[in-house]
């Protein structure tokens, strides 16, 4: 399976607490719910498109608890997101979560080394192993070079504080967007699909004047 990271981010890269004021107040974060005023049929269409590609889900413990406390209550049979989340296999990374506590079935708790566990999961048949939210887990997966696809909905909001998708110290990487992988929605929301092409380094260059013209020169 491909490993995809599917997240909502602000213009300044924050992914913390997009859905509600009390979603994630860790670190004293008090700006939650910043996504909600911008929700629309267009953003729902994009997110449903993400979930159509899923064959399994991977969560950190906090996001597992948050989503598992909400989506089982959504029982409408025509709700694609709820159907996928409530029926497909789920894996949660935690050294302390018990099997009894992991009652959002079907769920498997991963208690070993996350990198090795995820490598094994990626060998399973299927389309995508999807990560939603799960900030700390996303950092570990990125640092290990395990992410195959990033899907972002970037909102025209500067949150100004909070957990960023790529915080200082992130592994340098170059990513590319396939044809049709970017789309601007109403209100300035940007839908992006990005595939890592180079990990551990980024290319660079400089502008120089050649024959009287400013020219980009790769290094």
**CATH number, domain containing residue 6:** 3.40.430.10
Bridge partners of 210, per DSSP, are: 213
* Distance, CA of 80 to CA of 94 (rounded, Å): 27
Per-residue confidence in pLDDT tens, the chain, 219 aa: 999 999 999 999 999 999 999 999 999 999 999 999 999 999 999 999 999 999 999 999 999 999 999 999 999 999 999 999 999 999 999 999 999 999 999 999 999 899 999 999 999 999 999 999 999 999 999 999 999 999 999 999 999 999 999 999 999 999 999 988 999 999 999 999 999 999 998 989 999 999 999 999 988
pLDDT recorded at residue 3: 98
Residue 16 near residue 71, CB atoms below 8 Å: no
Distance from C-alpha of 75 to C-alpha of 25, rounded to nearest angstrom:
28
pTM of the shown model: 0.94
The answer to whether residues 191 and 182 touch, using CB atoms and an 8 Å cutoff, is yes
Domain count, the chain: 1
The pLDDT, as a whole number, for residue 21 is 96
Per-residue model confidence (pLDDT) at position 20: 96
> Which tens digits make up the pLDDT trace of 40-83?
999 999 999 999 999 999 999 999 999 999 999 999 999 999 99
Domain of 172, in residue numbers: 2-218
Max Cα separation, the chain?
Answer: 72
Nearest to 103 by CA among 92, 113, 112, 95: 92
User: What is the pLDDT at residue 118?
Assistant: 97
> How far apart are alpha carbons 26 and 24 in whole angstroms?
6
Bridge-based pairing of strands 107-110 and 190-199 is unpaired
């Amino acid at each position: 399976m491909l490993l995809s990271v599917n997240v909502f981010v602000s213009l300044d890269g924050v992914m913390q607490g997009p859905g509600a004021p009390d979603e994630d107040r860790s670190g004293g974060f008090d700006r939650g719910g910043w996504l909600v005023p911008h929700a629309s049929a267009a953003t729902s269409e994009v997110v449903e498109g993400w979930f159509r590609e899923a064959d399994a889900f991977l969560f950190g413990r906090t996001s597992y608890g948050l989503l598992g406390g909400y989506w089982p209550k959504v029982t409408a049979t025509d709700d694609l997101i709820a159907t996928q989340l409530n029926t497909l296999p789920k894996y949660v990374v935690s050294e302390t979560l018990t099997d009894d506590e992991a009652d959002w079935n079907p769920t498997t708790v991963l208690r070993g080394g996350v990198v090795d566990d995820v490598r094994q999961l990626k060998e399973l048949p299927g389309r995508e192993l999807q990560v939603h939210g799960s900030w700390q887990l996303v950092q570990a997966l990125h640092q290990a070079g395990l992410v195959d696809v990033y899907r972002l909905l970037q909102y025209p909001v500067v949150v100004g504080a909070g957990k960023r998708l790529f915080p200082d110290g992130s592994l340098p990487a170059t990513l590319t967007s396939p044809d049709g992988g970017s789309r601007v929605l109403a209100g300035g929301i940007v839908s992006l699909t990005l595939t890592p092409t180079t990990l551990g380094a980024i290319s660079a260059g400089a502008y120089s004047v050649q024959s009287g013209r400013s020219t980009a020169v790769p290094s």
